[in-house]
Structure 1
Amino acid sequence: MVAMAGVAGTVWTFQQLSWFLAPTFLGFNLVIAAYPIYSKLSHRGLPKWIAGLLMAASLIASVVVFGLAFSWAVSTTVSTVPDYVPRFTELYNQLLHSFRERGIDVDPLQSAGQYMDPSHLVTVGTSLLGSVSGILSAATVAFVTMIMVMADSMGWSERMKVATGTHPRITHALVGFSEGVRRYWLACTLFGLIMAVINGITLKIFNVPLMGVWMFLTFITTFVPSVGFFFAMVPPVITALLMNGWQNALVVMIIYFVTTWVVQGYFQPKVTGNAVGVNITVSFLSLLFWAWVFGPMGAIIALPATQLVKSLVIDADPKARWVNSFISTEAKVTGADPQT
């Protein structure tokens, strides 16, 4: 009972500090992912400060490019959404008329139609602006954390050596966590680029507007395991329905299902789960749990957060390593103490 109360209190604390913990953890992840740049350059004889500057420049440039692409996607979407409202209203009225002719109750649809009222759209726009403000605040915390951690990263190897002298199991678990984090972010980035290109070709062939925006959306949602494909599919399918008709939208949806769902719904969780040492089921449950704890950003850092807990609580303790036989991709456990 005491242990359960402690876990519940810890989770509650995490929820209250989600505005700080989630972006801070993301900043740590980004530096860990970029750290091999520093280690390889320093091993080749470059001064540490030069290697550190090159690592920082590479990481900051990547973050800036991503931020600019995100700003472009948001501004493009906001500026073009009003152009689709008349077409949506037309299709909505046609659907109501068709249902009335067939004697189908249209009251639920009429209730839904109020959401297209201009005053409601203003309310939605205001809430979206608030969400963007929250995203900017989280991005600022993550960026500042990233800068601070990079400033200290040049002394990581010496600190790890000192800590290994007294707590080798903990440091070995942290090394495993770092390696898994790098594999995870690399796998997600590669999957994102591949799926963005595949979906971009599909959208180009079927003349779906805002192709670049939907490609960027595909890239972002690859960092949300298991369910990210759904959020990548819905907006372009709706756009195809509004601008090109239901036949075009149906074909686009089928192709998205065949490509995006298969890759992002099955293969990617399997690969990223292997990277962090958990199976597909635990990967999906991790997404739900950390999204509940940290909100939308929790969906992005779900697997790295799960791996950190696994590394410190399970992998670092020989008496707890037997749990890996149930949560890992393979029923294989090494270094576990038997039960007495």
Structure 2
Amino acid sequence: MADPTAPPRTSQPLVAAACLVVVIGGLKLAAPVLLPVLMAAFVAVVAIPPIRWLERRGAPTWLAFALIVVAAAASLVFFIGVVGVSIDRFTEQLPVYQQRLDRLIANGLAAMRDLGLDIAPAELSAKIGTSRILDVVGNTVGQLLGALSNLALVLLIVIFMLTEAHGFSGKLRRALGDPDADLSHWTEAAARVYQYLFIKAIVSAATGVLVSLVTWALRVDFPLLWGLVAFLFNFVPNIGSIIAAIPAVLLALVQNGPLNATLVTGGYVAINMVIGNIVEPRVMGERLGLSTLVVFLSLVFWGWLWGPVGMLLSVPLTVVVKIVLEHSRELRGVAVLLGPADAPPPPGDDAPPPAG
């Protein structure tokens, strides 16, 4: 006889959906606390293999740890320095950019009048605004500096995480109450995230160097900054390269005119066609185990949940979620839906019956 106190089966999906909404709301509210910790966790995952590599080659643990931390701190200082110097120079050049933008708009109005389109300057300014293009560039640079400044906190958390890394697996087994607990799925998640971030960092660095060279060759101000922006936004799947190109193209338009802006746009397109469509797919291969649609939807979801940082972390976060689902008997089917159509079945699935 059925237990009258047990909840009906039809209510279980509703309860699960309600719990999911509560969890998502909690994640959104806790973003100021969770984001630095998550960023630090992913950085630590990338930093641990180089530390192990140095230890295997005879370096003391403290020296390997110090070298990695110093390299990370030096990179952070370099990034902040590039952005800070660029902001100072941009502020100094702002009146010049304003004059060139006004002249560009005046030339555009004259060309429209030659074509029989009579648009009043005030009307065009109301629709475009002579300062809006400069605002886009300035806001992008300012937000980038703010994000890099917050990385100082992330670096501090990384240092503490690395000091705990050696004994973490044993501590986790003791917390689970099983000294022989299987942690293979967590090891797999860390390995897959490391592979993705390591390869993505190399590809993004190549993209940043090429963007810096192109903008320098085309005489666009702040080529180092645009290379840095391209490096960071290349971690955002699908739309990151487009976002990274917008401020540089707008500045090229204001500084050097439409022809130069067209050449800069062509340079960005060529770089991302080669890197994004040829080099990266060959190097990355099928390591992610995610379908293209899931990658895009994860970008939308994590971007909505946690903003630009969520967009940067969307792929590694989804990879971790998929691996956790693969090791859950009840939710393994969801992991299958997240993967590509031709992916092998998750570990633990029963083999299909033989034909005949």
TM-superposed CA distance for 1:50, in Å, is 3.9
- TM-superposition CA deviations, 1:99-138 (whole Å, max 9, x none): 3454447476331344629xx96xx97x789857853673
Structure-to-structure mapping, 1:283-322, within 5 angstroms: 283-312=295-324, 314-322=325-333
Secondary structure, counterpart of 2:238 in structure 1? coil
Partner of 2:7: none
Residue of 21, 28, 31 corresponding to 1:15 = 28
Tell me if structure 2 keeps the 8 A contact 1:18–1:294: yes
TM-superposed CA distance for 1:214, in Å, is 1.6
TM-superposed CA distance for 1:224, in Å, is 1.4
TM-superposed CA distance for 1:269, in Å, is 7.2
Structure-to-structure mapping, 1:216-227, within 5 angstroms: 216-227=228-239
TM-superposed CA distance for 1:315, in Å, is 2.3
CA distance in 1, matches of 2:319, 2:242: 25
Letter in 1 for 2:295: S
CA distance in 2, matches of 1:64, 1:72: 12
TM-superposed CA distance for 1:53, in Å, is 3.2
Residue of 38, 41, 51 corresponding to 2:51 = 38
Partner of 1:84: 97
CA distance in 2, matches of 1:2, 1:271: 43
Partner of 2:155: 143
Query: Of the two, which has the highest radius of gyration?
Result: 2
Tell me if structure 1 keeps the 8 A contact 2:233–2:243: yes
Residue of 106, 109, 112 corresponding to 1:99 = 112
Partner of 2:4: none
Partner of 2:6: none
Structure-to-structure mapping, 1:114-153, within 5 angstroms: 114=129, 116=131, 131=143, 135=147, 138-153=150-165
- TM-superposition CA deviations, 1:28-72 (whole Å, max 9, x none): 111110001222333455544444334433333333333333433
Tell me if structure 1 keeps the 8 A contact 2:298–2:318: yes
Letter in 2 for 1:212: L
TM-superposed CA distance for 1:248, in Å, is 2.4
TM-score, structure 2 as length reference: 0.79
Letter in 1 for 2:270: V
Letter in 2 for 1:177: A
Letter in 2 for 1:207: R
Structure-to-structure mapping, 1:166-315, within 5 angstroms: 166-168=180-182, 171-261=183-273, 263-264=275-276, 268=280, 274-312=286-324, 314-315=325-326
Secondary structure, counterpart of 1:208 in structure 2? coil
- TM-superposition CA deviations, 1:133-182 (whole Å, max 9, x none): 853673243233212212212323533665674541xx212111111221
CA distance in 2, matches of 1:128, 1:219: 14
- TM-superposition CA deviations, 1:63-104 (whole Å, max 9, x none): 333333343344444443432111011111222343345444
Superposed CA RMSD = 3.3
CA distance in 1, matches of 2:350, 2:315: 28
CA distance in 2, matches of 1:276, 1:134: 30
Unaligned regions of 5+ residues in structure 1, if any?
A: none
Change (3 A) 1:93 1:338: same
Change (3 A) 1:308 1:215: same
Change (3 A) 1:110 1:196: same
Matched residue count: 332
Letter in 2 for 1:328: G
2:10 is the counterpart of 1:5:
no
Unaligned regions of 5+ residues in structure 2, if any?
A: 1-13, 352-356
Q: Is the deviation greater in 195-204 or in 285-294? A: 195-204
TM-score, structure 1 as length reference: 0.83
CA distance in 2, matches of 1:251, 1:240: 9
Residue of 25, 30, 42 corresponding to 1:29 = 42
CA distance in 1, matches of 2:160, 2:179: 26
CA distance in 2, matches of 1:79, 1:269: 42
Tell me if structure 2 keeps the 8 A contact 1:221–1:229: yes
- TM-superposition CA deviations, 1:244-272 (whole Å, max 9, x none): 32222222212321222553478647866
CA distance in 1, matches of 2:309, 2:282: 21
CA distance in 1, matches of 2:338, 2:98: 47
TM-superposed CA distance for 1:27, in Å, is 0.8
